Chains A and B, each alone.
Chain A
Amino acid sequence: MWNKRNTHIDDEKLDRLSDELFRALEASESEIDNAAESPFLFRRIRARIESEQRRLAEETNPWLALMTQFRQAIPVFALLAVVALASSLYLHTNETNKSAPENPALIAGLPLFLQDDQDALDASLVGWQSNNRSGQPKE
C-alpha cells in the first residue's frame, strides 16, 4: 500500500514542494548583513592570511622550513643535553670513588658490609676441612 501511495505522488508536486523548501531556506537581509559585518571578522581574515602566507613561504623555502623544525627541536635538544651532563657527572663521581685508596680490610674486592660474613665463611670452611680430614676412611 505504501508503494502504491508513493507512485501516486507525481513529480510535479514533488518539484513544487522542493521549490518551497528552497524558498524556506532564504535568509533575510538583516541576517546577511549581520554575518557580513560580524565584529573581528576582518581581523580573523587578516590573521588567516598571515598564517597561510607563512605556511606557503615555509613550503617554498627549504631553509626556512629547516629553521622552523630546528626551532621546534630546541627543547628536545636542551633536555638531551641536561641528561647527558647529569650522567657524565654521575659517572665522574663513581670513578672518583673507585680511584680512592683501597681499604686494607677489604677482602678480594668484596664490599665492606660482607666482610663479617666472609670471616664466618672462612671459619666454617676451616671447620669443614678439618672435619673432612678426620672423617676420611683409613686406607
Chain B
Amino acid sequence: MIRMAEKFEPEVVRTSQPQVRERTDDELVAAARTGDEAAFTQLFKRHNSLVSRLGYRFFSRREQVEEIIQEAFVKAYLALDSYQGGHEKSFVSWLARITVHACYDELRRIKKRSESRLGDLSQEEEEFLTERLRDLSAGSNVEGATISRDLAGKLLARLKPEDRVVLTLLKQEELSIAEIAELTGWTSAKVKMRSHRAQQGLRRVLRKFV
C-alpha cells in the first residue's frame, strides 16, 4: 500500500533550507474535521494534482477530469470522519481509492448514457489501426500519436467499466493485483479474473476493427 501511495505521489523537490514544519496530512484532516476551512484548503492544494493525474488515466477531456476532482474532494470531505490515518501516506492511498471509485462511477454513467450511440471507427482510423498492427516496431510520429489518443478513447469506451478500471491500473499505473484489489475494494480473485477478461475483451474489440 505504501508503494502504491508513492506511485501516486508526485515528486517533491526538497530543499535543504530550514523551513517551518508543515502540518502532516493526518493533522490537517483532524483540523478539517473540526471545521478548519484552511486545513481542507491545504489538503486540496497538496493533493489536487494526484487526483488530476488519476482522472486523466480514465478521461481525456479536461472538463471530465475537473468533474472527477470535484467529486473526489467532495466525497473525501464528507467522509473525513471515516478516515483512519496512522501512516505518512495513508491520506494519499485513501484519496486515491476515493478517486478511482469516482472514476468508476463516471465510467458507468457514461456507458449507460452512450450504450446505443457508440459510433464505428472512421475509415482513416481503421486504416491506422491496421497499419500499426502491421508494423508495431515503427516509431510513432506526431500525427500518429494524435490519432491514437482519440482512437484509444473510442476503443476503450467499448470495454465494460470494471474492465477499463482494471486494465488502466494494470497497464498505466503498473499496479499489482493486490494493489488494485486494495484500491477498488474488490477481492484479489475478482481482480485477477477481471484482468483476464478485460484483456480478452480488448483483444476482441481490436480484432473487430483491425
Contacts and interface: CB of A to CB of B under 8 A. Distances in A.
Interface residues on A, range: 20 to 34
How many chain B residues sit at the interface, stated as a range, is 35 or more
A14 B172 CA distance: 17
B69 A35 contact: yes
A88 B186 CA distance: 67
B172 A17 contact: no
A56 B49 CA distance: 29
Contact of B149 (A9, A24, A36, A42): A24
Nearest to B203: A14
Contacts of A24: 140, 145, 148-149, 151-152
Contacts of B207: 6, 9, 14
Interface in B51-83: 51-53, 55-57, 60, 62, 65-66, 69-70, 73-74, 77-78
A25 to B, nearest CB: 5
A139 interface: no
A130 interface: no
Contacts of B156: 21, 25
Interface in A27-44: 27, 31-38, 41-42, 44
Contacts of B199: 15, 18
17 contacts: A9-B133, A18-B171, A20-B136, A21-B155, A22-B172, A27-B53, A27-B60, A33-B52, A34-B62, A35-B56, A35-B66, A36-B69, A41-B48, A42-B44, A45-B74, A48-B70, A53-B78
Given A24-B149, A35-B56, A35-B66, 13 more contacts: A15-B203, A18-B171, A18-B203, A21-B151, A21-B156, A22-B172, A24-B140, A24-B152, A25-B156, A32-B56, A35-B69, A41-B48, A45-B77
Interface of B: 41, 44, 48-49, 51-53, 55-57, 60, 62, 65-66, 69-70, 73-74, 77-78, 129, 132-133, 136, 140, 145, 148-149, 151-153, 155-156, 167-168, 171-172, 199, 202-203, 206-207, 210
